[in-house]
Structure formats: structure tokens, C-alpha cells
Amino acid sequence: MAHTETSGTNRRDFLYIATGAVGTVGAAALAWPFISQLQPDQSVLALSTTEVDLSPISEGQIVTVQWRGKPIFIFNRAPKDVEAARAVPMSQLIDPQPDQDRVKSGHDNFLVVVGICTHLGCVPLGHQGNYDGWFCPCHGSQYDSSGRVRVGPAPLNLPVPPYTFTSDTKIVIG
């Protein structure tokens, strides 16, 4: 539209800015539900904790449970596995972290980790590889008895999910 000779702000400027502001707020208010619906819905969130009874897991056994659709490895480690994991000097690790930080004290034999290779998301095989832990069949990454990466290409240790002991033999993941 043609500009008329006016000084300062006029009524049209006000209407223009007010309309634009209301329109922007309206568009954002409409866009948010359409973005929000992409997030996990209530039925997914309701399944976000998993309770596990540890008593049937014998020494040396690895059990896989599901939490939020992901495999969780629960490894009841023999004392020699724990000692081996704790004897490794930090300098030898790709992603240095002491074994003590990866377990709950008082339950040092139980290792709970997310069973997804930190390289590209495959599920590593238990009791395989050279470090008493896991071997990933996809690209050859190896993890030790603490779930720490020892041979690449994986860059990081298997992550420890949030969990708590609700009794001596029960944990709640999530």
C-alpha cells in the first residue's frame, strides 16, 4: 500500500503491530499441541518404571529385562569379576570411570546397565569378548565386567540407568 506522509506512529501502525502480535501468539498456541502430541503420551509414561526381583539371578548370570522399551542387563558378578574391574588403572580406559561409581554400595556384585552399544545402538552379547563382559556383534566393540568400553569403535561406557534398591533383592528401574 502507498505510504502517506505522516510523522511518528499512526493508527495504522498500531493496528498492524497489534494484529501481528495477536497472530503470532495465536499461531504459537495452535502449533504447540501439534508439537506436544509427538512426545511420549500418558500410556507410554505409565510404563516408565520396571520392578525387578534379583533373587533368582545366580552368581555369574546376566539377565535382560525391558525398561522403556530398552534392554537392561543385570549382571550378578562373581567376586573375581568385581576385583578385576576395580584393578584396572583409569589410564587404560576409553571412558574412565571407577567401578564403584557404577554400582550401589552394599550391592557391589550387581551391575545394572542399559544394554545398548554406545556406538550405533545394537545389543551386545554377554559373556563374550576379552574383558569378562560384552561383545557387540555389529562393529566389534567390547565392554568389561563393569560395562565399560575397552575396545572401540564405541566411545562411551554402557550407561547406568536410574534405579534404587527397594529391598535387598528388589530394584525399581526408572
Partner 1 sequence: MEGHSTYQPQGKIARWFESRLPLVGLLHSSAVSYPTPRNLNYLWTFGGILTFMLICQIVSGIVLAMHYTAYAPVSFARVEHIMRDVNYGWLIRYIHANGASMFFIAVYIHIFRGMYYGSYKAPREVLWILGVIIYLLMMATAFMGYVLPWGQMSYWGATVITNLFSAIPYVGETIVLWLWGGYSVGDPTLNRFFSLHYLLPFMIAGIVGLHIWALHHVGQNNPDGIDVKSVAKDTVPFTPYATIKDVFAMVVFIMFFAWFVFYIPNYLGHSDNYIPANPLATPAHIVPEWYFLPFYAILRSVPDKLGGVLAMFGAIAVLAFLPWLDTSKVRSARYRPLFKQFFWIFAVVAVGLGYLGAMPAEGGYVIASRILTVYYFVHFLVILPVLGLIERPSVMPASIADAVLARGAKGAAAPGAKA
| Residue numbers at the binding site for partner 1 (CB under 8 A) | 1, 32-34, 36-37, 39, 41-44
Whether residue 133 contacts residue 144, with contact meaning beta carbons closer than 8 Å, is answered with yes
- How many angstroms separate the Cα of 103 from the Cα of each of 75, 99, 140? 11, 7, 25
Whether residue 119 contacts residue 136, with contact meaning beta carbons closer than 8 Å, is answered with yes
The DSSP annotation for 29-87 comes to HHHHHHHHTTS--HHHHTT--EEEE-TT--TT-EEEEEETTEEEEEEE--HHHHHHHHH
Give the residue carrying C-alpha cell 503420551: 41
Which positions ≥6 away from 53 have C-beta within 8 Å?
Answer: 169, 170
* CA gap 169, 61 in Å, rounded: 15
Adjacent-strand bridge partners of 76: 110
